[in-house]
Structure 1
Amino acid sequence: MSIRSAFAIAVGRTTRWGLHTFLKGGSSYPGQLTQKMDPTVLGTLSRNYDVVIVTGTNGKTLTTALTYQVLKQKYPEIITNPTGANMLQGIISTFLEHHSYTKNTEKKAAVLEVDEASLIHVTKYIKPKAIIFTNVFRDQMDRYGEIYTTYQMMLNGAALAPNALIVSNGDAPIFNSKETVNKRVYFGFDHLPDGELKAHYNTDGVLCPQCNNILHYKFLTYSNLGKYYCPNCDFKRPDLTYRLTNLSHMDHQSSRFEIDGEEFEIKIGGQYNIYNALAAYSVGRILDVSTDQIRAGFAASKRIFGRQEVIQIEDKEVTINLVKNPVGLNQVLEMIQLDPEPFSLVSILNANYADGTDVSWIWDANYEIVKDLNVKEVTVGGERVEDITARLEVAGIPEEELQVIPSIPEIIKNFKNAPTKKIYVLATYTAVLQLRKELANQGYIEGGM
């Protein structure tokens, strides 16, 4: 280690200690400061780790958490970035937190969630063993652009680590649209008999990349994911290395399924989260984790920040769901639809940089389903409350049936008066942060992420 690196790391660790001790926060600033002092410090910090990177539009955080628990069954020392600090400075801070000046001969691992646009900055210094590509959907158009632009960002990042294995969602046509310098393996669903259908007309990424014909499907899971093929040329879903072979149970709180003939269970609802488990399983098998160990890793996983996170507020069970784009929101609504009990629904919309400043995406989401749910009360709030109010009115919720409460503290106060025991919250990223901060101030949860 160079003197420059050693000094930068010492300053970064001291800064992190001060921020966490006295301010109870600061997940990215220590990394930002350390990187300014030594731009190459990430390479030094990560030198003795087997690294797995998770990137893509939806599912990064839960896939990272599941993969962490799976690999924890094998690696005695393993780190991750659970706070969602997934840009370069946050990754550096993660390694700073766990850095030791003493030599450790035990093999170490790191499972890192990395922002799609930041991947190229991370792989400049880290050479991971594997990179998981979860999916690419239209998201934060002001920052990422169209899905093909986002995917190119991911490919550019992966190319800087050419020996890293790309572990891709094989059901996503975009991941089979270009050649890569990296070797690839694919995971996907293979649980239904072949049929003949097309994706919904309001779906991105359903044109054949070879001939621009509309793709057909033997079966669909959701959005543009499924067993696709082009009727006009030879483009089709690649052979899957890791396959979901049976889906035996799925409700709003859990799923049971078989992968390659082995049964697993996760304690979180929604088909989209089964893909996350399938990705974690794939990396586990690649790194020689046994199926029994993977099963134990899934069992140890807990609901995390904004991903069906349940918070008890007096006699109310409040489930917080992070939503940020049409595909993700539609999947959350379909998951909620599986709950047999009546509930109240709260939708909080912000449009800060971390959310995406363009909120036009709400018009592509299927809010029309809300009027058919077992909902007893609908509340809207957030900094863009007028936008979400208009959207729900157009979706068929009468104005007189909407509670309009812009303020987060007032929304929490209103939780206690809800007509149902269960409340589902749909909130954008900064709205989740604001909600959790206020819940911590009121003593319902501990502070931090």
Structure 2
Amino acid sequence: MSFRSGVATFAGRSSYWFLHTFLKGGSSLPGKITLALDPNVLKTLGAKYDVVVITGTNGKTLTTALTVTVLHEKYDTILTNPTGSNMEQGIVTTFLNAKNPKTGRPLAVLEVDEANVIKVTQYLTPKVFVFTNIFRDQMDRYGEIYTTYQKILDGVALAPDATIIANGDAPIFHSKDLPNPVLYYGFEDHDESEEIKARPNTDGVLCPVCQHILHYHYISYANLGDYFCPNCGYKRPELTYKVTELGELTPTSSTFKVDGNEMKIEIGGMYNIYNALAAYSVGRFFGIKPDAIRHAFDSNQRVFGRQEVINVDGKEVTIVLVKNPVGLDQVLHMIATDNQPFTFINLLNANYADGIDTSWIWDGDYELLPKLNHIPLYVTGGERYKDVTFRLKVAGVPDDKHTVEPSLAKIVDNIIPNAPTKHIYVLATYTAMIQFRKLLADKGYIKEGID
């Protein structure tokens, strides 16, 4: 370690200790301080690790958590960033908090923001990249989906020997020839005789070879599925790891088979089965047997901000992060499978970390909710409460069931304790979720963050 790296590391670790000892945490500032003193410090901090980079639009945090849980079946020491602080400074903070490995090469399983992949691979050479999906998301930051994918590939180009484990049901991940070895995962629980198209407003359904509209034998959601081009013959690649059967799907759990092996995760939604399948694929790549992966899934805990269930004075409050149209749509369809009465709360912010454009809420199927007969109360709040309030009004939510409360503090203090149902869903954008959790932490319902 150079003198400069040593000074930067000492300063970063000292700030981390101070923040977590006296100010209840901080996942970015220690990294910012360290990088200011030594912009190349990540090369030193991560030199002794085998690195797994998990990136994509949706599912990074849960895929990372599940992957760590699976790999713990074989590896004792795994470094990771569990709170989803996935930009360069957050990743540096993650390494600052690590204990120095004495022997061997421990694993680092890192959730990495799409635009920050190159900032990691400039200094570290990953062993594995995991691609979850790419959907329209924060266009002010990323641009359209092909621009986002290119940001990822710019980073992957610096590690041409790393294995890519990619969602084979996403057409974009098979659209370019790469020097890397590639393994694909996806769904194969369907009859290939069917021929359908994606919904008209779906992104990423043009054939990358001839620009014809892709057709599908099966669509799981959005543009994911068993795609093919009837014009030029382009089609989904051969899958290495497959969901071969779907079982019971509820808002709180999913059962399914992977390569014929029964699996269950304690979290709902079709989209989360993809996250589990990605973690399964990484586990198999590292030689972990299906029975051990099943055991890992059985022991998995809820993830920060991702379907956390928090007891607030007897109310079961489920927090679900929503940040883009595809994710929102999947969450709405997931909670619609709940046949018990529930209160629906939607918190909308539009800060930099959320994406400043809120037009994406119009692509979510809010019209599904008024068709249900067991939602006695809808609540809209957050900094952009007017936008989401109007969206629910257009969706047909009755005024007499709809409460508008911009203040998150008042929602925590007044609305949740007096809600007419025991179960409450809170859909929140990233900064709204952080603010909401802090209010709950201040009242002692939860710890503010995860160390």
Give the structure-2-normalised TM-score: 0.97
> What are the superposed Cα offsets for residues 267-324 of structure 1, whole Å, 9 maximum, x if unpaired?
1111100000000010111111121221122122111111110011112111000000
Distance 2:21 2:211 in 1: 56
Question: Aligned letter for 1:115?
Answer: D
Question: Is 1:134 aligned to residue 142 of structure 2?
Answer: no
Distance 2:293 2:104 in 1: 21
Map of 2:16 onto structure 1:
16
Distance 2:417 2:322 in 1: 23
After superposition, residues 46-445 of structure 1 pair within 5 angstroms as 46-100=46-100, 104-194=102-192, 195-373=194-372, 374-412=374-412, 413-445=414-446
Other structure's SS at 1:375 match = coil
Q: Are the equivalent residues in 2 in contact too, given 1:45–1:99 (CA < 8 A)?
A: no
Distance 1:333 1:35 in 2: 40
Distance 1:293 1:38 in 2: 41
Q: Which moved more, 1:174-183 or 1:421-430?
A: 174-183
> What are the superposed Cα offsets for residues 114-146 of structure 1, whole Å, 9 maximum, x if unpaired?
000011111111111111000000000111110
Distance 1:447 1:32 in 2: 21
Q: Are the equivalent residues in 1 in contact too, given 2:329–2:363 (CA < 8 A)?
A: no
Q: Are the equivalent residues in 2 in contact too, given 1:75–1:107 (CA < 8 A)?
A: no
Distance 2:380 2:157 in 1: 43
Distance 2:123 2:357 in 1: 32
Distance 1:332 1:371 in 2: 15
Other structure's SS at 2:97 match = helix
Distance 1:160 1:50 in 2: 16
Other structure's SS at 1:376 match = coil
> What are the superposed Cα offsets for residues 177-199 of structure 1, whole Å, 9 maximum, x if unpaired?
11123221100000111211111
Question: Aligned letter for 2:256?
Answer: F
Distance 1:80 1:297 in 2: 17
Of all paired residues, the percent bearing the same amino acid is 59
Please state how far the C-alpha of 1:448 moved relative to its aligned partner: 2.2
Q: Are the equivalent residues in 1 in contact too, given 2:129–2:163 (CA < 8 A)?
A: yes
Distance 1:163 1:157 in 2: 13
Aligned length: 447
Distance 2:427 2:259 in 1: 34
Please state how far the C-alpha of 1:233 moved relative to its aligned partner: 0.6
Other structure's SS at 1:94 match = helix
Considering only aligned residues, what root-mean-square deviation do their CA atoms show, in Å?
Answer: 1.1
Please state how far the C-alpha of 1:219 moved relative to its aligned partner: 0.6
Question: Aligned letter for 1:181?
Answer: P
Other structure's SS at 1:200 match = coil
Q: Are the equivalent residues in 2 in contact too, given 1:59–1:276 (CA < 8 A)?
A: yes
Distance 2:175 2:41 in 1: 35
Question: Aligned letter for 2:62?
Answer: L
Please state how far the C-alpha of 1:434 moved relative to its aligned partner: 0.6
Map of 2:35 onto structure 1:
35
Q: Are the equivalent residues in 1 in contact too, given 2:349–2:383 (CA < 8 A)?
A: yes
Distance 2:63 2:388 in 1: 29
Return 5+ residue gaps in structure 2 as ranges.
none
Other structure's SS at 2:247 match = strand
Distance 1:32 1:292 in 2: 41
Q: Are the equivalent residues in 2 in contact too, given 1:311–1:445 (CA < 8 A)?
A: yes
Q: Are the equivalent residues in 2 in contact too, given 1:76–1:106 (CA < 8 A)?
A: no
Distance 1:277 1:322 in 2: 18
Please state how far the C-alpha of 1:30 moved relative to its aligned partner: 1.1
Q: Are the equivalent residues in 1 in contact too, given 2:185–2:281 (CA < 8 A)?
A: yes
Distance 2:365 2:51 in 1: 38
Distance 2:116 2:258 in 1: 31
Distance 2:324 2:154 in 1: 24
Question: Aligned letter for 1:183?
Answer: P
Distance 2:95 2:161 in 1: 22
Please state how far the C-alpha of 1:3 moved relative to its aligned partner: 2.1
Distance 1:180 1:399 in 2: 53
Distance 1:356 1:82 in 2: 22
Question: Aligned letter for 2:224?
Answer: L
Question: Aligned letter for 1:177?
Answer: S
Give the structure-1-normalised TM-score: 0.98
Q: Are the equivalent residues in 2 in contact too, given 1:27–1:90 (CA < 8 A)?
A: yes
Please state how far the C-alpha of 1:11 moved relative to its aligned partner: 1.6
Q: Are the equivalent residues in 1 in contact too, given 2:214–2:229 (CA < 8 A)?
A: yes
Question: Aligned letter for 2:295?
Answer: A
Other structure's SS at 1:98 match = coil
